[in-house]
Amino acid sequence: MQGMFRACCPIKSGRFYSSLTVKSLYEQVHRARHDSISIHGWIKSIRILKRVAFLDLQDGTSVNPLRIVVPLTTTDDAQFLKNLKTGQTLSVSNAVWQDTPNREQPFELQIKRPIDSIQLIGPVSENYPLQKKFQTLPYLRTLPTLKYRTSYLSAILRLRSFVELQFMLYFQKNHFTKVSPPILTSNDCEGAGELFQVSTNQSSTASSYFGKPTYLTVSTQLHLEILALSLSRCWTLSPCFRAERSDTPRHLSEFWMLEVEMCFVNSIQELTSFVETTMKHVINACVDNQEELLPKQFVSLQEDEASSRPSLDQEKQQIKSRWQSLVNEEWQTITYTQAIEILKKHHNQDLHFQYEPEWGQPLQTEHEKFLAGEYFKSPVFVTDYPRVCKAFYMKQNSTPNDTVACFDLLVPGMGEIIGGSLREDDYDKLCKEMKERGMNESGELDWYLSLRKEGSAPHGGFGLGFERFISYLYGNHNIRDAIPFHRTSTGSINF
């Protein structure tokens, strides 16, 4: 049995059972060949000529489709091929490798008799919606069960998976421990009151399952602080939930946050330099794998954008050069106070923001987009925000007065993708700040305060909105496409 298995599937990578993946076949280009290949996938397109048919198969493992060349020697063969439709699931066996060095695809598979080698294992209905015609993202978003069969959207999920892995490898190499903090919590880490409360479906116990109000976490930071004070360096990638009423392309009710917490950092510059190095490492890995990560087809972002969208080549080129300059160029850093000065100057001279920039007020998305996208045209760290604009746990600066040691990373087209800070480790200052904000009135955060008394250490960390980062990399600024099943303030959850 083992021998037979080897004989019909000599390729090792991607082989767990008798079928190969399309990706594993592409990995074999320029390597040893094999005689009899079995593969599964969905029909991407089919073109029938007089004596031959070209079947393009995709299986979601690669941006590259697999070309299968089918000779049409009998009328039965021709009829069999004519009955095949885009979207159907096929099992193909006894296919033979053929090098095609001068074509776009470096090889194709050839089969002798379609009736013997092709088995239809999943039919489609007459009105299967993913036909070859031009598709727009708003249309694809109406097809949540099918949209990831498109080259454009499956590529974003593979990019996300790849980026996750790169972070993991980088953190592991730098002695961070991946931890799994809880989703259910009794605290509101950010203090913004945008919480989903959890209850059971049994009305008698609805509010009392845990004996007190319990929420879905908005950030795992407070738990990570406990763990960092044991492990020195830890990180997680966890779902976070915010009951914000923001129906924008940058907001989700359920999103994933990559959070890092590390001890023995003493300045915000140490943190921002760690962030820049880490992000550049991950983006560099994307550059090294760009041909396998970027899709073969782009779709229109808007219903009416079809004509104004750059060509496929231009679009790909733009992404590649953005990735390259993100790696090559030094990212900018300014203080919040400097940011307000720049914004005020432009507000008075050549621009008119909807919200007037004012020291002591949070930066609005329009301000963030201007700073990163138009002023610096690069990622920019904005540091040292006013204390009142930020959460209770941030370390207070001695100068400038009434600011905290924090940063936001802003990127062109998206605005904020990371928020981070040093954490206040002075027990008295933290108590005072919490009291001023009306927090911890019944001692619910005493455990957090106690960390400052039991083997405390200077520490800090940050949270990266994972969908925002993936969307930014991919050049699609609607983060709803960077998560398979988006939950937003305006959409009901149907499955």
Q: Which of residues 239-298 bind ligand 4AD (CB under 6 A)?
A: 242, 244, 251-252, 255, 257, 259
Q: What's the start-to-end Cα distance of the chain, in Å?
A: 42
Rounded Cα distance, 156 and 10, in Å = 30
Nearest distance from C-beta of residue 187 to ligand 4AD, angstroms: 11
Taking CB under 6 A as the binding criterion, the range among 38-46, 161-169, 362-370, 455-463 that sits at the site for ligand 4AD is 455-463
Rounded to 5 degrees, what angle do the CA atoms 336, 342, 347 make?
120
Which of 52, 389 has the CB closer to ligand 4AD? 389
Check if the beta carbon of residue 14 is closer than 8 Å to that of residue 61.
Answer: yes
Nearest distance from C-beta of residue 419 to Mg ion, angstroms: 3
Nearest distance from C-beta of residue 234 to ligand 4AD, angstroms: 11
Rounded Cα distance, 132 and 395, in Å = 55
- Does position 300 bind ligand 4AD by CB under 6 A? no
User: What is the x/- site pattern for ligand 4AD, positions 168-207, by CB under 6 A?
Assistant: ---------------------xx-----------------
Q: Which of residues 413-432 bind ligand 4AD (CB under 6 A)?
A: 416-420
Closest CA to 306 of 479, 129, 135, 130: 135
Q: Which residue is nearest to ligand 4AD (CB)?
A: 465
The residues of the shown chain that bind Mg ion, judged by CB under 5 A, are 419
Residue found under tokens 């004989």: 7
Give the residue, chosen from 465, 471, 481, 486, that forms a contact with ligand 4AD under the rule CB under 6 A: 465
Give the residue, chosen from 221, 300, 397, 403, that forms a contact with ligand 4AD under the rule CB under 6 A: 221
Which of 107, 385 has the CB closer to ligand 4AD? 385
Please classify residue 323 by burial: count the beta carbons closer than 10 Å to its beta carbon, then call 0-12 exposed, 13-18 middle and 19+ buried.
buried
Which of 65, 419 has the CB closer to Mg ion? 419
Nearest distance from C-beta of residue 259 to ligand 4AD, angstroms: 4
- Does position 390 bind ligand 4AD by CB under 6 A? no
Which of 379, 419 has the CB closer to Mg ion? 419
- Does position 369 bind ligand 4AD by CB under 6 A? no
Which of 87, 419 has the CB closer to Mg ion? 419
425 binds, among Mg ion, ligand 4AD, none (CB under 5 to 8 A by kind): none
The three-state (H, E, C) secondary structure of 124-171, written as one string = CCCCCCCCCCCCEHHHHCCCCCCHHHCHHHHHHHHHHHHHHHHHHHHH
What is each CA distance from 390 to 68, 291, 319, in whole angstroms? 58, 41, 33
- Does position 24 bind ligand 4AD by CB under 6 A? no
What is each CA distance from 324 to 202, 278, 317, 377, 482, in whole angstroms? 54, 15, 10, 14, 21
Closest CA to 291 of 159, 412, 421, 390: 159
Rounded Cα distance, 466 and 201, in Å = 31
The three-state (H, E, C) secondary structure of 320-343, written as one string = HHHHHHHHHCCCEEEEHHHHHHHH
Instruction: List residues binding ligand 4AD (CB under 6 A).
Output: 189-190, 219, 221, 242, 244, 251-252, 255, 257, 259, 416-420, 461-463, 465, 467-468
